[in-house]
Amino acid sequence: MIDDIETLVRCESPSADHEAVARSAEAVAGIGRRLLGVEPERIVTGGCTHLRWRFGDGEPRVLLLGHHDTVWPIGSLRTHPFSVEGGILRGPGCFDMKAGVVMALHAAAALPGRDGLSILITGDEEIGSPLSRTLIEKEARSCDAVFVLEASADGGALKTRRKGVSLYRVEVEGRAAHAGLEPEKGVNAGIEVAHQILAIAALADADRGTTVVPTALTAGTTTNTVPAKASVAVDVRVWDAAEQERVDRAIRSLAPVHEEVRIRIDGGINRAPLDAGASSELFRLANELAAGTLTQAAVGGASDGNFTAGLGIPTLDGLGAVGGGAHADDEHVVVAELPRRTALLTALAETVLARGSSSTPTNEPGETRAGQR
């Protein structure tokens, strides 16, 4: 498993670089081919490569769900090299979530029977899964359980509740003018976006756990020009759908302070909350299989498990690596936990597959397979 994780970590795969993601998909495919004895389907949506293995003749009943893209740019290995020392594995993307991909493939390889199993490894999760959401939802619709190989919460806790996510971009259009000669003839988009940022931040509700955070900000062109344009990205996290709708309505209702400014709102609700009810039965099963040693956590980050839980499919998240430092300089995986967590995943999949077939219908997705139309 360590060798396979090294292979994937050394094949850098930032989400926006589709060529790098395609190379990473081939690395994942090679590991899966060796372990499972079959080639995956290479599914390309919008230039992004995803992989799928399906076993048996019917619709899938258990889905192992992961992603092979990362937030780390090409060249990160020079400053964050792969290493294993003192029982700790390090490298860009190892925790989130290339170790989880390897765990899914090894767990599937250990199953005594795979009929009804699907493994889906996508290539754009870190940017919100815009090109894989339809594929994920289609693959999950017939399933009795979805096991998400995202990394664990602190201390190895499974993620049984996740916040929903909304993403927006607020664009402000004013009018340029010379900042020294006649600033009064301009309409300062920078000042206007500052007003909007304050209004946006005020939508947060700490008591409800709702965060509304203005993030990436741009304004202006040169130091002596009144900014004609400005924009701010907004990240929203909520525990329940009602809050998500409240914030969505409020952001779409933003009005300009300056009468000559125009405001444009892009984006919207990305992932609904993953409610604890979607995970409760599967967590009880996992904890029984683990002799009562598991813990659970609610987390602010979202995953593709939010999509499947939103369909009403039982979903258990955080089954991947134990470690920490996702997206950070200290990203790492605890090596000793890799075989234990993989054995748990195998036991979970085997137990659910043994329960019998689901009759939930599945619709065909709008997708393009590599080399086909």
Q: How far is CA 209 from the centre of its chain?
A: 20
CATH 3.30.70.360 for domain 164-271, yes or no, is: yes
Question: Which residues does the annotation mark as catalytic?
Answer: 69, 125
**Of the listed ranges 104-113, 247-256, 354-363, the one predicted with least confidence:** 354-363
Domain ranges of the chain: 2-162+274-369, 164-271
250-283 pLDDT, tens digit each? 999 999 999 999 999 999 999 999 999 999 999 9
**How many whole angstroms separate alpha carbon 152 and alpha carbon 180?**
55
Angle in degrees, 0-180, between the axes of helices 99-109 and 2-10, rounded to the nearest 10: 140
Q: Which range is least confidently modeled, 291-295, 318-322, 357-361?
A: 357-361
- Look up the pTM and report it: 0.88
Q: Which DSSP helix (H) or strand (E) runs through 6?
A: helix 2-10
Model confidence at 366, pLDDT cuts 50, 70, 90, reads very low
Q: What is the pLDDT of residues 37-72, one digit of tens each?
A: 999 999 999 999 999 999 999 999 999 999 999 999
Q: In whole angstroms, what is the distance from residue 162 CA to residue 304 CA?
A: 11
| Residue 265 main-chain phi, psi, to 5 deg | -115, 120
Domain boundaries 2-162+274-369, corresponding CATH code: 3.40.630.10
Residue matched to tokens 């200290």: 330
Cα of first residue to Cα of last residue in the chain, in angstroms, is 35
Tell me whether strands 62-67 and 48-54 are parallel, antiparallel or unpaired: unpaired
> So what's the pLDDT on residue 97?
97
Average pLDDT for the chain:
94
Q: What is the pLDDT of residues 129-184, one digit of tens each?
A: 999 999 999 999 999 999 999 999 999 999 999 999 999 999 999 999 999 999 99
Q: 1-38 burial by CB neighbour count: b if 16+ within 10 A, else e?
A: beebbbbbbebbbbbebbebbbebbebbbebbeebbee
